[in-house]
Amino acid sequence: MKTVRFKIKRQQSLDTAPYWEEFEVPYRPGMNVITALYDIAKNPKTADGKATSAVAWDANCLEEVCGACTMIVNGKVRQSCSALVDALQQPICLEPMTKFPVVRDLRVNRKRMFDALKRVKAWIPIDGTYDLGEGPKLSPQDQHIGYALSKCMTCGCCLEVCPQYHDRSPFVGAAALSQVRLFNLHPTGKMQEEERLETIMGEGGIEDCGNAQNCVRVCPKDIPLTTSIADLNRKTTAYALKKFFRS
């Protein structure tokens, strides 16, 4: 029987030491990393036959739009649902992302990303005590840019590869910055433009970007992250000058 070999970095909880285990699962044509993880869960035995606990992982949409199954596959961060076994070298090495705290095995807690979105107010406030009516129209050009930016699934690939994003640094990272561009582009969102710019001009904001530009290379949604960052550089610089000369 043809089998596929896996090498998985396991960790029971955040404060226990990680260890490696190898697994062997039956090969099926077209299988991906997630289907293999299901096979391991069905029969949690290491490659040399020892019984072990099932490997924990996150997955949801299984079509590369939710970001939940992001992990490091053979040294590169990506979604494991679209990581086809046929295209990978064996043993396939699976590790949890390194920039977020491990919950268990391949499952991490991306809370820091959601906190960043809250910090930069990545939404458009429309709630009020009365009906605000329809908002202004969005030009087709802006729709085009906005659509590309709106595809972000908060997977964290861009942060995993960012040399400026880690536990010593308060950086909000490329994903949240790009969302600032998205919501400042929107005619209703624009009403909070200066507030968002102020936020990213503070601690952990845009100035923490080091221009390594890895983010744009790995984003599975091809979001023009470096363009977003440079655009925000322009906006924050213009805003700072305006603020200074009008003060």
**Under a CB-based contact definition with an 8 Å cutoff, are residues 228 and 174 in contact?**
yes
**Under a CB-based contact definition with an 8 Å cutoff, are residues 79 and 70 in contact?**
yes
Q: Which is nearer to another protein, 6 or 171 (CB)?
A: 171
User: Could you give the CA distance from residue 246 to residue 169 in angstroms, rounded to a whole number?
Assistant: 33
- 54 binds another protein per the rule CB under 8 A: no
Please report, as ranges, the residues that interact with ligand SF4 according to CB under 6 A: 67, 152-158, 174-175, 178, 219-221, 223, 225
Q: Which residue in the set 214, 219, 220, 223 belongs to the binding site for another protein (CB under 8 A)?
A: 214
| Residue 216: CB minimum distance to ligand SF4, A | 9
Distances (CA, A) of 84 to 21, 27, 57, 110, 143: 21, 12, 17, 24, 33
**Under a CB-based contact definition with an 8 Å cutoff, are residues 73 and 93 in contact?**
yes
Q: What angle do CA 212, 213, 216 make, to 5 degrees?
A: 160
Q: Which residue in the set 7, 143, 218, 221 belongs to the binding site for another protein (CB under 8 A)?
A: 218
Q: Which is nearer to another protein, 125 or 170 (CB)?
A: 170
Contact region with another protein (CB under 8 A), list: 79-87, 106-114, 164-172, 182-190: 164-172
Q: Which is nearer to another protein, 30 or 163 (CB)?
A: 163
166 binds, among ligand SF4, another protein, none (CB under 5 to 8 A by kind): another protein
User: Could you give the CA distance from residue 45 to residue 193 in angstroms, rounded to a whole number?
Assistant: 54
- 217 binds another protein per the rule CB under 8 A: yes
Tell me how crowded residue 153 is: count the other CB atoms within 10 A of its CB.
20
| Residue 128: CB minimum distance to another protein, A | 32
Q: Which is nearer to ligand SF4, 99 or 107 (CB)?
A: 99
